[in-house]
């Protein structure tokens, strides 16, 4: 999970994205004009509702992710919390420069990843799902 900022006509918006680090699929995202924790919690809730509860959740040590309300949301579900070192960052430059929705759709469905033998995140994600779960996804 990460937060980045996106320049818009009259200032900045903040993008919070929940990413499955195994297959690199963007599972959910939210935009906000503030850096409060609520929009991050909404993105997590959407990801869990749509894709299920993960065993582990990885993020940086930003104030949103270290807040009591955010960590409590994960702990209530039995999710193990892992945090990157302070100041760690992920490759989100392209997302900040492109149209967000278009980029995330491209990233999930068209962009091959070397870690998955040139499969896209969608291909890697759905290949790992049990057949019954794929029919409802």
The model's pLDDT over 89-129, given as tens digits with 9 standing for 90+, comes to: 444 444 444 466 677 778 788 888 888 788 888 888 878 76
Per cent of the chain over pLDDT 90 is: 33
Higher pLDDT, 117 or 132: 117
For strand 56-59 and strand 80-83, is the pairing parallel, antiparallel, or unpaired? Answer: parallel
User: Domain residues of the chain, as ranges?
Assistant: 2-98
| Average pLDDT of every residue of the chain | 80
- pLDDT value, residue 106: 80
Examine the pLDDT at 8 and tell me if it is beyond 80.
no
Q: Which CATH class is domain 2-98?
A: alpha beta
- Give the residue-averaged pLDDT of 66-80: 94
Give the 3-state secondary structure of the chain.
Answer: CEEEEEEECCEEEEEEEEEECCCCEEEEEEEECCCCCHHHHHHHHHHHHHHCCCCEEEECCCHHHHCHHHHHHHHHCCCEEEECCCCCCCCCHHHHHCCHHHHHHHHHHCCCEHHHCCECHHHHHHHHCCHHHHHHC
The tokens for 83 are 């945090």
Higher pLDDT, 18 or 85: 18
pTM of the predicted structure, to 2 decimals:
0.65
């Amino acid at each position: 999970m990460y937060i980045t900022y996106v320049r818009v006509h009259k200032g900045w918006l903040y993008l919070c994205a929940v990413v499955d680090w195994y297959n690199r699929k963007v599972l959910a995202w939210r935009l906000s004009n503030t850096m409060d924790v609520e929009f991050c919690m909404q993105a997590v809730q959407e990801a869990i509702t749509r894709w299920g509860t993960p065993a582990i959740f990885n993020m940086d040590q930003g104030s949103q992710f270290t807040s009591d309300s955010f960590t409590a949301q994960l702990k209530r579900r039995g999710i193990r919390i892992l945090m990157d070192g302070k100041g760690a960052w992920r490759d989100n430059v392209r997302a900040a420069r492109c149209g967000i929705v278009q980029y995330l759709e491209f990233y999930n469905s068209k962009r091959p990843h070397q870690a998955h033998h040139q499969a896209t995140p969608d291909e890697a994600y759905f290949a790992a799902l049990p057949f019954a779960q794929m029919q409802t996804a």
